[in-house]
Chains A and B, each alone.
Chain A
Amino acid sequence: MRGQEARDQVERKAAMATLAQSTGDDIVRLWNEAGLPSEAELLRGPETGLVTVRGRIGGGGAPFNVGEATVTRATVRLASGQVGHCYTLGRDKQKARLAAIADALWQDPALRPEVETRIIAPLQAALASARERRRAETAATKVDFFTMVRGED
């Protein structure tokens, strides 16, 4: 049971990460295609605020404050009682609300597969291919050093 709970947490966090990384437009489009309920009681937000971003001295040392970033958050409750949360960079309130509903739906074992296949998986695939393209474009600028052989020996 403990193991299952831990796995659930890892998967839930991964789904939240996918939603946070994706654009609001992509989420809305998939949501409409999936026909998932977009109504829920708003318990908090959607509201925009700040987080202070921390780095580490020298990259791996003690933390320090670099600057701030806008974040929008929402907490919703479904009629079934599930509570969902979202925190995401930027000021897109519609995105925060839908992502919180997605998080709530995800926690319902009956609805989880649908949320995973209709929303999370396509978003995840789009993010992965964008990331892969970025990496391949950067890799094309990698320097290949040639050693010049001088003289004979």
Chain B
Amino acid sequence: MDIATQAIEGGFADPVFNAQTVFRAVMDAMARPGTLQPLPAFARPPAPLSATAGAIALALCDNDTPLWLDPVLQAPAAVKSWLGFHTGAPLANTPADAHFALIATPAEMMALDGFSQGTQDYPDRSTTLILQVGDLVSGAPLLLEGPGIERTASIAPAQMPRHFVEQWKQNNQRFPRGVDIVLATPDGVTCLPRTTRIKTMEA
């Protein structure tokens, strides 16, 4: 299949309702950090962009949201043209200009503070990071607490960034600035908003 065909296929079959369903799932996941909100495979993006991450990009990105891709996603032309055709989002020149970042290999990603952190007046202008992870059980366990979590929640996402717990603590300290993270798994979506704290696990 040539790039031109890959670029235009695999968008939402029902743009309005699919986008609303994905938006609802991401919103619920943000409101209840650590819960998995299931999502059917609405989108069929070119590899290595995953179906879940692709659907989230289609729901959230448009012409006004510069997008940053990690090197693995930047490499194939098909991913860029697929996102371009379906969302119209321009590619950000630097991670600090991005409203959204798509990251296929979180384990190799750059530091969280390299992305836009927002400003004290407009903390909403920070980058929202969409990380593709294989599952929520095979990685290092993270105990979560904060708004939207009654007591604690626990997830163990695979392939998370290096020194993630330490980086997240620094992200918390930048509040109200700081990034938010959306974890895209094959089954659905889980979020770590900047208000969520990671409790260090007792050894």
Contact = CB atoms under 8 A, between A and B. Distances in A.
A43 interface: yes
Interface string A59-102: 00000000000000001010001010000000000000000000
A44 interface: yes
Nearest to A50: B63
Interface residues of A, number: 7
Contacts of B86: 44
A110 B27 CA distance: 50
A83 B9 CA distance: 11
B46 to A, nearest CB: 15
A44 B11 contact: yes
B153 interface: no
B41 interface: no
Interface string A40-67: 0001100100000000000000000000
A38 B127 CA distance: 44
Contacts of B11: 43-44
A45 to B, nearest CB: 9
Contacts of B9: 43
Nearest to A51: B63
A44 B87 CA distance: 11
A77 B86 CA distance: 15
Interface in B10-55: 11, 15
B156 interface: no
A40 to B, nearest CB: 13
Nearest to B62: A49
Nearest to B86: A44
B137 interface: no
Nearest to A77: B8
A2 B11 CA distance: 32
Contacts of B4: 83
Contacts of A77: 8
A135 B128 CA distance: 53
B133 to A, nearest CB: 30
Contacts of A47: 15
A38 to B, nearest CB: 20
Nearest to B88: A49
B167 interface: no
Nearest to A83: B8
B71 to A, nearest CB: 29
Interface of B: 4-5, 8-9, 11, 15, 85-86
Interface of A: 43-44, 47, 75, 77, 81, 83
List the 4 shortest-distance A-B pairs measured between CB atoms, nearest first. A43-B8, A83-B8, A75-B8, A83-B4
